[in-house]
Structure 1
Amino acid sequence: MFAAMRRLSKSKFGTAIFVAFLLTILASFALADMNSFGNKGAKSGVIAEIGDEQVTDRDLSTASKQALNQLRQQNPTADYSALATYFDDIVNGLIDEHTIAAFAADHGFVLSKRLVDAEIASNPNTRGLDGKFSEQAYAAFLQQAQLTDADLRRLISSSLIQRQIVAPAAINYKVPLGVARPYASMLLEKREGELGLVAIDQFAAGLNPSDGDLQAYYSANRQRYQMPEQRVLKYAPITLETVKPSAPTDAEVTAYYNANKASYAGNESRVISQAVVQDKAVADGIAARARGGQSFAAAAAPAGLSAEDISVGPQTKAAFTGLATAPVANAAFAANAGAIVGPIKSDLGWHVIKVESIKSAAGKSVEQARSEIVAKLAADKKKAALSEAVGKIQDAIDDGSSFDEAAKSLGLPVTTTPMIDSGGKDRKNPAYVFPAALQPALKTGFELVAGDDPDVATLPNDAGFVLVGVDTIADAAPAPLADIKDRVRADWIKSKATDRARAVAAAIAAKVAKGMSMTDAVKQAGVPLPPVTPVNAVRIQLSQANADAVTALRMLFALSQGKSRMVADPQGRGFFIVKTNKIVPGDSSNQPNLVAQTAAEFQQTAGEELARQFVTAMAADQKVKRNEEAIKAAKQRITGTAK
């Protein structure tokens, strides 16, 4: 509640969006905004200087790409323009991360590689089917997260440092109930007022822009139509369909069978009884009684061994070796059924054994094992063929071959995309879909810079590889008017309708401010408007209000009694005229639960504030300098807007 009252409209995306994927693993401490410490002396291409360390435009591009990947988990169609709202938080989070790391380095906070390794190994996504760390699972996790090992280790290190340095400043902060009580009373404050609404849509009728109007509006708002960087990519899959490995031959099947005969020879098992004692004389007595005709159980009984003690059950030679050591197992499996073996000495004592029965398991002939051998050899050939193909491609690239030459050397089919963005979308053809199975090619294609050699990306699920090259790069720029004429027309109409609605709302607000009743002012507007609505609310309802009502309610609680004001709907649907008629102070003296709850929420907020102040102090200590011009240029380049 206190947080709702204090920061209802403030986003906490911040560092969280930059390390959001990591937070699901580590639940690391996240911080929000970062104050500017000036931009004097900042260099081109550098968005911030932290002591001797620089946060570069490239770092920001990487962070933005990771933020977009995270955003696409909730909205697969999101593009870089969707980051505009969160861009400042991404920048601040990136600077915070480097600031804390620099402070830690200066003051002797050291993280061992073993600690980072332990964090990686503790992540369930890096474990195999046996529950242990798996290199294969780790590689798949990195690929899915679109991170390198170095990226993940840096993020983990940052999180661990935050835990060590920042978190202690924010935990266990106690807020006295006496401090929380007036805020709890404020939450119970009641207000009565009136609400008028001027909707934009009703002013759009009859608006029909000319081509000149559209051109002028487009020219004045070009940055609004900024399109992210686009590229034409070339890709050539290196898969089993394109490589086509040969099938295993009869000779290869026979050779594999002969090399692995032990695997197909069958596995004999024996039912064994065994007595193990520490004294050889006792062992000799057991062996003598058993050879003399007594049952093995009866022969072992004088030594204090029960039937359960001597029963070993069915055993393979390998299993019995692990149970009784190799010399004992060798002797037991060399004897005939019914034989008494021993005494034989081992580290466990003296062994006397009876071979109760022998069960021979028939092995497999080469023909019986053919199908499984063929499957094994075929899988090996596929892997070898793919590896060999990638090796040849890489050699060709290293020798200076172009994309087309490298692909032609293996006869790979080449596909050239239309001009697409980093999400695989073709602005001119919404029906175009970049193949989902080749997403690593898209990622690699947008990581390459002009002049880079083609690269080979790994496809998921052992599907193979894909050769990727860049054909054309189109820098971020406003879309041509002809391509977005309908969109510009809709924006022009909305802009003009908004101007009309604003003028009507402002006239109503001015009359109300001079003492006219809101009902009369609405009637004199000259256009049909919804009737004035009475509003009664308690401040605590602000935290529960929906998006349609919260803006008007905030204004109701921001105004003094008898005052009124016009406020724009943040969703762009129109304008509210709000007037506060009556204020009734709240009293929390009979609401102990609310006071306690407010104190608890105040405690969390106060802890965050302490952490923020600590990071601010670190920034001053490290002499953080922000390059606001570079940040603004990066925002325009990445999101297509400078606002």
Structure 2
Amino acid sequence: MISFFRSFFQSKIGLAISFIFLALIAVAFAASDVTGGATFGGVSSESVAEIDGDGIGTAEFSATVSNAFNQYRQDNPQLDMTAFDEQGGIDGILEQMIGSYAASAFGDSIGLGASKRLVDSEISGIQAFKGADGRFDETLFRNALAQQGLTEARVRADIERGLMTDQLVVPATFGAKMSEQMALPYAGLVIEGREGEIAFVPSGAFAPRTAPTAEQLQTFFTRNSSRYRIPERRVLRFATFMTDRFRDQVKISDAEIAALYKQRSAEFAATEKRDLEQLIVPTEAAAKAIAAKINGGTSMAAAAREAGLEPVELGLQSKAEVTRVTSPAVANAVFSTAAGKVAAPARSALGWHVVRVDSVTAIAARSLAQVRPALENELAQEKLRQTVSDFTADLEDRIADGASLADIAKDENLTLETSPELLANGQSPTNPDFAAIGAYQAMLPVAFSLEEDAGPQLAEVQQGTEFVVFEVQEIKLAAPPPLASIRERVASDWAIAQGLSAAKALADSIAKTSRTSAALAKAVSESKVPLPGIEKIATNRQTITQQQGRVPPPVALLFSMAEGTTKVLEGPNRSGWFIVHLTKINRGDATKVPELLLATRTQLGQVVAEEYAQQLMAAMKSATNVKRNPAAIKRVKDQLTGRTREN
């Protein structure tokens, strides 16, 4: 995940998107509601960095990191902020922010700018701020800012920086190319072939036969604790309730049923429906011509085909339904036509309608007694929905007023349950057979976004039928489990590590003396530990490219070695060490494959553009006065990763 994050920001597209991402980060908060606000508790409003006197505040930095982290966590739910930081995520975002500020400062120094009208255009173009009519809705914009505690000035400043960066970077990278002569050797690499030999030294052959001492085991566990670290876990306490519990509170009177029957009397009155086929044409003359053909004996389908059209079967329709989807004129024409005939052409907003009445069905009136069960059930469902709505609103008010989960469960006679330790993806490290179904699917997305001291939460499990009220009872930060609970696993890993170390010593020794195929064969055969036979490899880059990442690592290594050299590579799952010897390189001649040469030039042009962008950003940082505040950066990191809670 983080490797993708790093490579993404270093790519041409990544650079452009990252600038926009940073410039519109405030708007993203407002539009997507991805965090609970723009404030940053526990850290003062100092700056993590200053660029020509313009500071990046701790609140802004924290909010930007949180937003980016939440986006990555959607693809990797087990990612925690500590791992995100350890692999460079937080530092990478800070450098991108500094670059954005530096680009803005540099652009301002040379007279570039983004006008108010241009910023207005960017804001009005954001889909989240458009109303039902597709136009910018200032009320939506203001409400979103207020909800997230953002100011219009902050949003405008972010957008202006993004626009300034675009003005600088896009022209510098547009149209970058590489000459054919420079691209030729790179294109030749694509069709290059290599031959080599691979030997293997298994670590299992060197693993100790005796168990480690307690001291050895503890030392190994301490040095490799990150290998056993369990991601952040949370324990939830919750109670569910079904809406059926409110059914006894729902009472329906005869008067209510009679009133609803009267209100919808037209629906229950005697009526008729007609089975219809329809064509719509642009002119009255065309409609009359088609109607005359059909009334003269031509089928509806044939008349439609002659006009380059296809009839649409509308099915059984009442007059009210036809009026609603066409026009009163069309409905009147249709319902004054006998079965088997075509109605006189009539017009709607869509054009002229040619409608054939296939059949007429008379529907008798329905009495109150006949529809009473349906009306009673309808009223009961509506009253039940209102009762549930009133109850949940009252419950949320009580939560807002400080009611505890225990108080709510007691008052409402609910049974409290406690979950096992849960990861963000619903798995339980302490209970491998646990399945996060039902209420857990509603709780987990909310539970892992809550702070430790958050109050009870209410969530809907099944729409209109089941709810859950819950709280985070305990947060266990990402950490390795006690050694005693995984002693056997650690002991096995220790033995493998010892064997791997001894196997590497032998592999290094063989590689050091194996500069030729004969020398490699001699060293393997004379090894004191029996080793597997040597495998010969002959392939080319096109073949391994087609395998799309399924290339064995030692084969891939062949293509990064010099001819006649030997290298050592660790095998998968610490199984041992590969000894890879490259015997021959078969050079490719790209001049014989012009389409490959052209494609290579195009791809390298993108690389050149990336380099231009990176060098330009580095130069703009150098041209501005950048001051980082390591203490403030550390405080933000500690707050985000929860290290302050560990102390």
Q: Which TM-score tier does this pair reach, normalised by the shorter chain?
A: 0.5 to 0.7
Q: Could you tell me how far 1:225 is from its partner in structure 2?
A: 2.6
Residues 198, 576 of structure 1: 8 Å contact kept: yes
Give the aligned partner of residue 265 of structure 2: 261
Structure 1 residues 434, 89: closer, same or farther in 2, change over 3 A? Answer: same
Structure 1 residues 179, 507: closer, same or farther in 2, change over 3 A? Answer: closer
Q: How does 1:24-173 map to 2 (within 5 A)?
A: 29=17, 51-54=54-57, 56-57=61-62, 59-71=64-76, 78=78, 80=80, 87-88=87-88, 92=92, 96=96, 100=100, 107-108=113-114, 110=119, 112-117=122-127, 172-173=175-176
SS in 2 for 1:426: coil
1:471 equivalenced with 2:473 (yes/no): yes
**Structure 2 alignment gaps of length 5 or more:** 23-42, 136-147, 275-287, 296-316, 337-359
Residues 456, 466 of structure 1: 8 Å contact kept: yes
Residues 252, 379 of structure 2: 8 Å contact kept: no
Residues 15, 94 of structure 1: 8 Å contact kept: no
Residue 207 of structure 2 is aligned with which of 187, 195, 204? 204
Kindly provide the amino acid, as one letter, of the partner of residue 269 in structure 2: A
Structure 1 residues 317, 575: closer, same or farther in 2, change over 3 A? Answer: closer
SS in 1 for 2:538: strand
Q: State the alpha-carbon separation in 2 of the partners of residues 235 and 254 from structure 1.
A: 43
Give the aligned partner of residue 480 of structure 1: 482
Residue deviations 1:203-238, cap 9 Å, x none?
336253244432232233333333333332222234
Residues 242, 412 of structure 1: 8 Å contact kept: no
Structure 1 residues 377, 95: closer, same or farther in 2, change over 3 A? Answer: farther
**Structure 1 alignment gaps of length 5 or more:** 1-8, 18-22, 35-41, 73-77, 122-126, 134-147, 271-303, 334-357, 639-643
Structure 1 residues 81, 471: closer, same or farther in 2, change over 3 A? Answer: closer
Structure 1 residues 446, 618: closer, same or farther in 2, change over 3 A? Answer: farther
Q: Could you tell me how far 1:175 is from its partner in structure 2?
A: 3.8
Structure 1 residues 450, 484: closer, same or farther in 2, change over 3 A? Answer: same
1:225 equivalenced with 2:228 (yes/no): yes
Structure 1 residues 445, 87: closer, same or farther in 2, change over 3 A? Answer: same
Q: State the alpha-carbon separation in 2 of the partners of residues 307 and 103 from structure 1.
A: 70
Structure 1 residues 249, 468: closer, same or farther in 2, change over 3 A? Answer: same
Q: Could you tell me how far 1:501 is from its partner in structure 2?
A: 1.0
Structure 1 residues 385, 636: closer, same or farther in 2, change over 3 A? Answer: closer
1:432 equivalenced with 2:434 (yes/no): yes
Q: State the alpha-carbon separation in 2 of the partners of residues 49 and 558 from structure 1.
A: 42
Residue 529 of structure 2 is aligned with which of 527, 530, 543? 527
Residues 556, 578 of structure 1: 8 Å contact kept: yes
Residue 196 of structure 2 is aligned with which of 193, 197, 205? 193
Q: Could you tell me how far 1:63 is from its partner in structure 2?
A: 3.3
Q: Could you tell me how far 1:429 is from its partner in structure 2?
A: 2.0
**Is the radius of gyration larger for structure 1 or structure 2?**
1
Q: Could you tell me how far 1:524 is from its partner in structure 2?
A: 2.6
Q: State the alpha-carbon separation in 1 of the partners of residues 530 and 548 from structure 2.
A: 26
1:215 equivalenced with 2:218 (yes/no): yes
Q: State the alpha-carbon separation in 2 of the partners of residues 67 and 317 from structure 1.
A: 52
Residues 190, 539 of structure 1: 8 Å contact kept: yes
Residue 556 of structure 1 is aligned with which of 544, 555, 558? 558
Kindly provide the amino acid, as one letter, of the partner of residue 257 in structure 1: Y
SS in 2 for 1:369: helix
Q: Could you tell me how far 1:478 is from its partner in structure 2?
A: 2.6
Q: State the alpha-carbon separation in 2 of the partners of residues 581 and 426 from structure 1.
A: 50
Residues 188, 538 of structure 1: 8 Å contact kept: yes
Q: State the alpha-carbon separation in 2 of the partners of residues 616 and 243 from structure 1.
A: 65
Q: How does 1:105-504 map to 2 (within 5 A)?
A: 107-108=113-114, 110=119, 112-117=122-127, 172-204=175-207, 206-244=209-247, 246-247=249-250, 249-251=252-254, 252-267=256-271, 316=319, 323=327, 362-459=364-461, 461-504=463-506
Structure 1 residues 223, 48: closer, same or farther in 2, change over 3 A? Answer: farther
Structure 1 residues 305, 592: closer, same or farther in 2, change over 3 A? Answer: closer
SS in 1 for 2:76: helix
Q: State the alpha-carbon separation in 2 of the partners of residues 317 and 193 from structure 1.
A: 82
SS in 1 for 2:370: coil
Equivalent pairs, count: 517
Kindly provide the amino acid, as one letter, of the partner of residue 265 in structure 1: A
Residue deviations 1:428-480, cap 9 Å, x none?
22223333443231222232223322222344645554222122233333311
Aligned-residue RMSD, C-alpha: 5.1
Normalising by structure 1, what TM-score?
A: 0.65
